[in-house]
A and B are shown apart, each in its own frame.
Chain A
Amino acid sequence: MRVDPADSLSEILPAEAFGHSVPASLSAALRTDVESVVAPGSPEEVAALLRWASKTAVGVVPVGTGAHTYPRYPSDPFVVLTTSRLTEIGHYEPADLTLTASAGARVGDLSTAMAVHGQWLPFDPPDVPNRTLGGLVAAGLSGPLWAGYGQLRNHVLGATVVCGDGRVLKLGGRVVKNVAGFDILKPMVGSRGDLAVITSLTVRLFPLPAVDRLLIVEASDISELVSTARAIATAPVMPASIVLSSTSVGGRLLVRLHGVSDSVGADQRRLEEHTSVSFDIRNVYELGDLLEGERDRDITGEFAVRLWALPSRIDELLVAVGQIPGVNLTADVYGGSVRVYLPDNLSDIKSVLMRLREDVENLGGTIRALRVPAEVDAFSYFTKPLVDERELATGLKQVFDPHGVLWRVE
């Protein structure tokens, strides 16, 4: 059965909600063609759509831009709900360091508005300027900067969400400290749309650092940099981020220091003493391009996974990854996660993934799919939730999406 939104939804959504498109990459992520896209313009319209979907047993796939959706299988039939019409900046009070915006607002646009006041949202996952705020939060993505600023989930102060059955919930608030009631906002962050559709968010902002310095060390073999990277991660200095990445000629370690000029200079000297390494320092003009290039590397690639283990085991993760020919990687050394970019033409993909999963899970870690080729099942080769966690997550799914309109809980 195919859903024709013009026929089925024209009575509950205005004409502006129709005629929208999503990137072709979304069809690849969903493993099926996207035929129906609707763009509600308010929480009420989102609620109307979800109530309709609950009654008609049609699945709803919520996306921001649709360019960053993880590989999953929607129910059949389904419609894609894009937040592209929910783009308003609702309330921005720079003196409070808080911002409320609709879920479809682009992070890049928000950053422009915040920069005027010397503020920012200090998260740097791949392609962050082109993500929507709702997509960023639904994916729970912090990027390597979480070393210095904490994870995104701790800076989401409030949200309006629409549950799978159309209930609208206003969760949290717009103050930094708030322990009123059970924190049912927390499981929304990183839930990837399993529980509800986020329609607006209030987030905590930070002052832009006066100095943003990048320290660089390069080597002909990435493994030569691991011990230095770990020494920095355990030094009595708190860098904003520590990233280790493969390059065409070996490896590169990027350490970002934030602060005022005096403190950043002192931090650099302490790190040099601690590691006995002399860093190359880049100025701010080079820094922007270099960091963006590093952050956004391979975002159009077809095949990427994320590994995670105790930070002290990152050397072992890299050994496991190093056995796969032609891979590139970016490691968040402080957090213990590694993005692995695999070649599209990898032979015997399934056995490679099975071996990688075994290696990672033997380290007590996890492997998740970010983008996988169509022939790879989106679940089979990746770490399952703990049995107990899955049971609780399924219970919560029932609370927020009782008819199973949104994604299944993995």
Chain B
Amino acid sequence: MTRPLPSAVVSDLSEIVGRRHVITDPDRLLVYESDGLTAYRIPPRAVVLPASTEEISAVVEVLHRKGVAVIPRGAGTGLSGGALSTPGGVIVGMARMNRILTIDPENRIARAQPGVINAHLTEATSPYGLYYPPDPSSQSACTLGGNVAENSGGPHCLKYGVTARYVTGLTVVLAGGRVMQLGGVGRDPYTTLDLVGLFVGSEGCFGIATEIEIRLLPITEGVRTLLGIFESVESAGRAVTKIIASGLMPAAVEIVDGPTIQAVEASVFAAGYPLEAGAALVIEFDGTEAGLDLDADRAEGYCLEEGAIEVQRATDPEHRTKLWRARKKAFGAMGRIAPDLLVQDATVPRTKLPEVLAGIDDIGSRYGLKIANVFHAGDGNLHPNILFDRQNQKELELVERASKEIMQLCVDAGGTITGEHGVGLDKREYMTLVYGPAELQAMAAAKQVFDPDSLFNPGKVLPEVEGAELGVAMKASTVS
């Protein structure tokens, strides 16, 4: 049972944000006991919902003065346990920090609060002919602040890059409630060290971004979407290699494998894919209308050369939506196959995809686990989805062992343990697969520059053993 916050602290917080924005009722706190990775559940002592940089600063000041850990949280859609509370910690939610502050079409930048939903930014900027490229699968729910914390990607980051490419400046609240300005598009980015780049992807462990300056791009004139159906993932993978090596630059290249297709076709999201297909390859080109058919023709040719059974091309937005359906609805459809799903995330060099996929298949067979693969094939970002039943304790243990083997397999292939979901709580122990003590110590020391007492999201990202040595272990609240 989590200890409640002392009434004096609740009172101080209420004075800042209003009593209705300080949640202490245990039933209401249940909503915040996990993020998108439901395997971990820790209820916070309280949730505070400030509405301005000043309020966030004051809230952090009160909590840090009492030695209470602060866990920043956007929409809670993250898949690594990053927005999970620390025992004794308080979640500072961004739900009320949901305003787009300025849109500056002349300079193609916007300034927004962290609770703005990703897709809402593009909705707001599209009348100016501009959009925000990073498009994580959860973009209709996830927030810009969460995207900054995780350095989020999405299918179209193959061509357009991830969040860090678009964040040009930040207002941040650091330890003790101190407010700082970092960067800004009107300043030489190398007047000092790239602090904005360091803050992006820090998973809420450095502080809270309270205003985000974002670069926008002009909406592309045209789009062509292709769907190639293949007998096997290997042949689809070879087509991808051929497309990329040819010099084409697709906006997105995604693969869903046979088990995923079967799950989708058995669900309400059925898209009409052949059930016997081994893989479906979605390829999208965008840009100036005049060049797109040529690009699409070449890509289609490479698919057919590699044995595609058929290649469809979207001719209108509805058709495009349909071709994307299996990719976009894959995770939801898997609920039909098993009650629980562990969405893994790792990246390997694109040329290693065939051998790594075969290795994952082998791991699934050895552990008797069903693994369905959905992945960003263009940049080698894999999402092996392990299907299981959490009520079956033995199966749960097998899932953990299989997960670790998959991570090791990806690292051995020259890859890494996470391409876009972050380390959070879930992958801390895998960090030693990719980094040695010197690198981990340097990361811990960098965190201490921003957060000397480790009161922002402690116990995340860095592994526990090294963390304990480095003074960043998950710490319980010291407030009585």
Q: How far is the CA of A187 from the CA of B349 in the complex (A)?
A: 24
Is the Cβ of A409 less than 8 Å from the Cβ of B431?
no
Contacts of A163 in B (CB 8 A): 442
Is the Cβ of A118 less than 8 Å from the Cβ of B247?
yes
Is the Cβ of B351 less than 8 Å from the Cβ of A95?
yes
Is the Cβ of B192 less than 8 Å from the Cβ of A409?
yes
A309 on interface, CB distance cutoff 8 Å: yes
**Neighbour of B290 across the interface among A167, A238, A265, CB < 8 A:** A265
Contacts of B150 in A (CB 8 A): 179
B119 on interface, CB distance cutoff 8 Å: no
Is the Cβ of A194 less than 8 Å from the Cβ of B193?
yes
A96-B350, A154-B164, A169-B438 in contact; A140/B194 too (CB < 8 A)?
Answer: yes
**Neighbour of B164 across the interface among A94, A186, A260, A399, CB < 8 A:** A186
B16 on interface, CB distance cutoff 8 Å: no
The B-contacting residues of A in range 35-84, CB under 8 angstroms, are: none
Contacts of B203 in A (CB 8 A): 182
Contacts of A297 in B (CB 8 A): none
A97 on interface, CB distance cutoff 8 Å: yes
The B-contacting residues of A in range 156-197, CB under 8 angstroms, are: 163, 167-171, 173-184, 186-187, 189-192, 194-195
Is the Cβ of B294 less than 8 Å from the Cβ of A308?
no
Contacts of B420 in A (CB 8 A): 177, 179
Q: Which residue of A lies closest to B422 (CB)?
A: A179
Question: Nearest Cβ distance between residue B137 and chain A, in whole angstroms?
Answer: 14
Segment touching A, from B50-58, B299-307, B446-454? B446-454
Q: How far is the CA of A206 from the CA of B160 in the complex (A)?
A: 12
A295 on interface, CB distance cutoff 8 Å: no
A15 on interface, CB distance cutoff 8 Å: no
Question: Nearest Cβ distance between residue A31 and chain B, in whole angstroms?
Answer: 21
Encoded as 1 (CB less than 8 Å from any A CB) or 0, chain B from 156 to 178 comes to 01100110110000000000000
Segment touching A, from B138-146, B332-340, B376-384? B376-384
Is the Cβ of B189 less than 8 Å from the Cβ of A174?
no
Is the Cβ of A181 less than 8 Å from the Cβ of B435?
yes
Contacts of A311 in B (CB 8 A): 106-108, 185
Is the Cβ of A395 less than 8 Å from the Cβ of B449?
yes
Segment touching B, from A246-254, A342-350, A362-370? A362-370
Is the Cβ of B288 less than 8 Å from the Cβ of A266?
yes
Q: How far is the CA of A409 from the CA of B192 in the complex (A)?
A: 8
Is the Cβ of A153 less than 8 Å from the Cβ of B197?
yes
B74 on interface, CB distance cutoff 8 Å: no
The A-contacting residues of B in range 244-268, CB under 8 angstroms, are: 244-245, 247-249
B202 on interface, CB distance cutoff 8 Å: yes
**Neighbour of A410 across the interface among B192, B198, B200, B417, CB < 8 A:** B192
A267 on interface, CB distance cutoff 8 Å: yes
Q: How far is the CA of A154 from the CA of B151 in the complex (A)?
A: 12
Question: Nearest Cβ distance between residue A403 and chain B, in whole angstroms?
Answer: 15
Segment touching A, from B3-11, B215-223, B388-396? B215-223
Q: Which residue of A lies closest to B434 (CB)?
A: A180
Is the Cβ of A365 less than 8 Å from the Cβ of B443?
no
B205 on interface, CB distance cutoff 8 Å: yes
Question: Nearest Cβ distance between residue A203 and chain B, in whole angstroms?
Answer: 14
Is the Cβ of B288 less than 8 Å from the Cβ of A186?
no
Is the Cβ of A151 less than 8 Å from the Cβ of B108?
no
A150-B161, A154-B165 in contact; A180/B416 too (CB < 8 A)?
Answer: yes
Is the Cβ of A177 less than 8 Å from the Cβ of B376?
yes
Q: How far is the CA of A364 from the CA of B104 in the complex (A)?
A: 16
Number of interface residues of B (CB under 8 A): 91
Q: How far is the CA of A409 from the CA of B295 in the complex (A)?
A: 48
The B-contacting residues of A in range 365-410, CB under 8 angstroms, are: 365-366, 368, 383-386, 388-390, 392-393, 395-396, 398-400, 409-410
Contacts of A395 in B (CB 8 A): 449
Contacts of A184 in B (CB 8 A): 198, 439, 442-443, 446
A234 on interface, CB distance cutoff 8 Å: yes
Question: Nearest Cβ distance between residue A272 and chain B, in whole angstroms?
Answer: 14
A98-B349, A190-B193 in contact; A365/B162 too (CB < 8 A)?
Answer: no
Number of interface residues of A (CB under 8 A): 89
Is the Cβ of B288 less than 8 Å from the Cβ of A189?
no
**Neighbour of B351 across the interface among A93, A264, A368, A409, CB < 8 A:** A93
B373 on interface, CB distance cutoff 8 Å: no
Contacts of B104 in A (CB 8 A): 312
Question: Nearest Cβ distance between residue B407 and chain A, in whole angstroms?
Answer: 10
B187 on interface, CB distance cutoff 8 Å: yes
A306 on interface, CB distance cutoff 8 Å: yes
Contacts of A263 in B (CB 8 A): 287-288, 290-292
A313 on interface, CB distance cutoff 8 Å: yes
B271 on interface, CB distance cutoff 8 Å: no
Q: How far is the CA of A311 from the CA of B104 in the complex (A)?
A: 11
A208 on interface, CB distance cutoff 8 Å: yes
Question: Nearest Cβ distance between residue B152 and chain A, in whole angstroms?
Answer: 8
A177-B162, A236-B129 in contact; A393/B290 too (CB < 8 A)?
Answer: no
Contacts of B217 in A (CB 8 A): 238
A310 on interface, CB distance cutoff 8 Å: yes
Is the Cβ of A385 less than 8 Å from the Cβ of B442?
no
Q: How far is the CA of A183 from the CA of B164 in the complex (A)?
A: 10
Q: Which residue of A lies closest to B439 (CB)?
A: A169
A290 on interface, CB distance cutoff 8 Å: no
Q: How far is the CA of A190 from the CA of B190 in the complex (A)?
A: 6
Q: How far is the CA of A395 from the CA of B248 in the complex (A)?
A: 44
Is the Cβ of B449 less than 8 Å from the Cβ of A385?
no
Q: How far is the CA of A28 from the CA of B397 in the complex (A)?
A: 65
Q: How far is the CA of A170 from the CA of B292 in the complex (A)?
A: 40
Contacts of A171 in B (CB 8 A): 439
Contacts of B44 in A (CB 8 A): none
Q: Which of B186, B217, B287, B438 has the most CB of A within 10 A?
A: B186
The A-contacting residues of B in range 196-250, CB under 8 angstroms, are: 197-198, 200-203, 205-206, 217-219, 221, 241, 244-245, 247-249
Is the Cβ of B191 less than 8 Å from the Cβ of A169?
no
Is the Cβ of A174 less than 8 Å from the Cβ of B349?
yes
Question: Nearest Cβ distance between residue B479 and chain A, in whole angstroms?
Answer: 27
Contacts of B189 in A (CB 8 A): 140, 151, 153, 190
Question: Nearest Cβ distance between residue B52 and chain A, in whole angstroms?
Answer: 19
Q: Which residue of B lies closest to A177 (CB)?
A: B419
Is the Cβ of B245 less than 8 Å from the Cβ of A409?
no
Q: How far is the CA of A194 from the CA of B191 in the complex (A)?
A: 12
Is the Cβ of A262 less than 8 Å from the Cβ of B182?
no
Is the Cβ of B349 less than 8 Å from the Cβ of A177?
no
A24 on interface, CB distance cutoff 8 Å: no
Q: Pick 26 A–B contacts, CB within 8 A, sort by A.
A: A95-B244, A153-B194, A176-B158, A177-B153, A177-B157, A177-B419, A179-B150, A181-B431, A181-B435, A183-B202, A186-B194, A189-B197, A190-B194, A236-B221, A237-B218, A259-B287, A262-B288, A263-B290, A263-B292, A265-B290, A266-B290, A310-B185, A388-B180, A389-B182, A392-B180, A410-B192
Query: Which residues of B are in contact with A by a Cβ distance under 8 Å?
Result: 104-108, 129, 150-151, 153, 157-158, 161-162, 164-165, 180-182, 185-195, 197-198, 200-203, 205-206, 217-219, 221, 241, 244-245, 247-249, 287-292, 294-295, 347-351, 376, 379-381, 414-423, 427, 431, 434-436, 438-440, 442-443, 445-447, 449-450, 461-462
Starting from the known contacts A170-B436, A337-B188, 20 additional A-B residue pairs (CB-CB under 8 Å) come to A150-B161, A181-B439, A181-B461, A182-B202, A183-B151, A183-B164, A183-B201, A234-B108, A236-B218, A236-B219, A237-B288, A259-B287, A259-B288, A263-B292, A264-B291, A267-B288, A336-B185, A366-B188, A368-B191, A392-B195
Query: Which residues of A are in contact with B by a Cβ distance under 8 Å?
Result: 93-98, 118, 139-140, 150-151, 153-154, 163, 167-171, 173-184, 186-187, 189-192, 194-195, 206-208, 210, 230, 234-238, 259-267, 270, 306, 308-313, 336-337, 363-366, 368, 383-386, 388-390, 392-393, 395-396, 398-400, 409-410
**5 closest pairs, A vs B, by CB?**
A263-B291, A186-B197, A395-B449, A207-B247, A266-B290
